[in-house]
Chain A
Amino acid sequence: EAQVTQNPRYLITVTGKKLTVTCSQNMNHEYMSWYRQDPGLGLRQIYYSMNVEVTDKGDVPEGYKVSRKEKRNFPLILESPSPNQTSLYFCASSLLGSRGGTDTQYFGPGTRLTVL
């Protein structure tokens, strides 16, 4: 089954304790991305990757790190989480559009993160 998986689905942690949210896709997509969803703000892009070893900042990258060492995996790292990073996080993947740009995003189930 074609899918994007994220782990963990739920996480409660404390300020300053490093954490990693994993993301994996089995569709051989070049493009992967992380978003956070907050009430009234929609989804905002944190980081994206066009291919292995190629990453770039989205609109809200502060406090986050990513890496793309393999095509299928794109982990999100919070090295020193703070309460304002409490949010719902989505990983997504897609093909690159035939005329350039980013096409339909296939989303993981989301990770609910609470930072105390």
Chain B
Amino acid sequence: AQTVTQSQPEMSVQEAETVTLSCTYDTSESDYYLFWYKQPPSRQMILVIRQEAYKQQNATENRFSVNFQKAAKSFSLKISDSQLGDAAMYFCALGSGTYKYIFGTGTRLKVLA
């Protein structure tokens, strides 16, 4: 069975500081995708960043970057220069060749002014 685990229910960061959200996963597939989604209070699900498992280079999108460790099955999200608008629930997700899509339980990020 495929799983996605987010072990941090809640994190806090000072504005302008850096924070890292953790995610581990398990799959027997060789090709898969990993994602971080953001869910602000509006409840809309927004893609933050995407990683293709066959690519060794870590994905980056402006202030957001990942640390993808394929052998360890780890996929953490780093947010640099945190802003008040980054406060949200963050979900790690796995999309694989089985066509199922698995989400973690989420990490609530609070940004302190």
Contacts and interface: CB of A to CB of B under 8 A. Distances in A.
Given A40-B105, A42-B105, A110-B43, A103 B99 contact: no
Contacts, number: 77
Interface of B: 6, 29, 31-33, 35, 37, 43-45, 47, 50, 52, 54, 91, 93, 95-106
5 contacts: A33-B101, A101-B32, A105-B35, A105-B37, A105-B47
A97 to B, nearest CB: 6
Contacts of A33: 101
B44 A59 contact: no
Contacts of B102: 45, 59
A104 B11 CA distance: 25
Interface of A: 31, 33, 35, 40-45, 48, 50, 56, 58-59, 88, 90, 92, 94, 97, 99-105, 107, 109-110
Nearest to A56: B99
B82 to A, nearest CB: 23
Contact of A101 (B6, B97, B106): B97
Contacts of A56: 99
A48 B100 contact: yes
A59 to B, nearest CB: 7
A88 B103 contact: no
Contact of A48 (B33, B50, B101, B106): B101
Given A42-B91, A43-B91, A99 B103 contact: no
Contact of B54 (A44, A94, A99, A105): A99
B43 to A, nearest CB: 5
A98 B12 CA distance: 37
Given A40-B105, A90-B45, A104 B35 contact: yes
